[in-house]
Structure 1
């Protein structure tokens, strides 16, 4: 069995599974309601897939939950191999410091 795509993918999948189980429906039923193949939904729930925004919205719609509930609290630090660790605030601060030094 392959591992989770990222911590964010694992957490999203876990939240989707929890919501699905709360309604006592199986993966095939949720996949049908969301317009997905059940194997794709299974990969998403296991964190082995990185679903598109459209897929997240379809799943949230089928579950009748706000999509924000599924991604709440997630941050860029949960992604693997993030190319830049600075934020726009860090960039602006560095620019301001460089301007003051001139």
Structure 2
């Protein structure tokens, strides 16, 4: 499955930069994270949407707080966001008598 979202590309770039900072290759990081290297390659290229567990495995292997990998990302970086309404918008609508 091809993700190609801005969020997936940014996550992949951050993982690749951290991996390169340690001067290790994809096979080495994949081994440390318990992943197949082809899956790691897809993640680094922004072509995969890794699960929370996979993100945590990669962050753990890099000895990194996983928040560093997703810092600053927003729902607007996703390709298809079904609702642009937030919980604040919903509460505001309830308070003014409107429905959403």
Name the TM-score class by shorter chain.
over 0.9
Structure 2 length normalisation: TM-score?
A: 0.94
Aligned to 2:68: 69
Largest Rg, 1 or 2: 1
* 3-state DSSP of counterpart to 1:40: helix
Structure 1 length normalisation: TM-score?
A: 0.92
RMSD between aligned residues: 1.5
* Structure with the larger helix share: 1
Aligned to 1:5: 4
* 1:1-102 alignment, distance < 5 Å: 5-98=4-97
Mark the runs of 5 or more structure 2 residues left unpaired by the alignment.
none
Mark the runs of 5 or more structure 1 residues left unpaired by the alignment.
none
Distance 1:45 1:25 in 2: 14
CA deviations on 1:26-77 (whole Å, 9 max, x unpaired) are 0000000000000000000000000000000000000000000000000101
**Large movers: runs of 4+ above 2 Å:** none
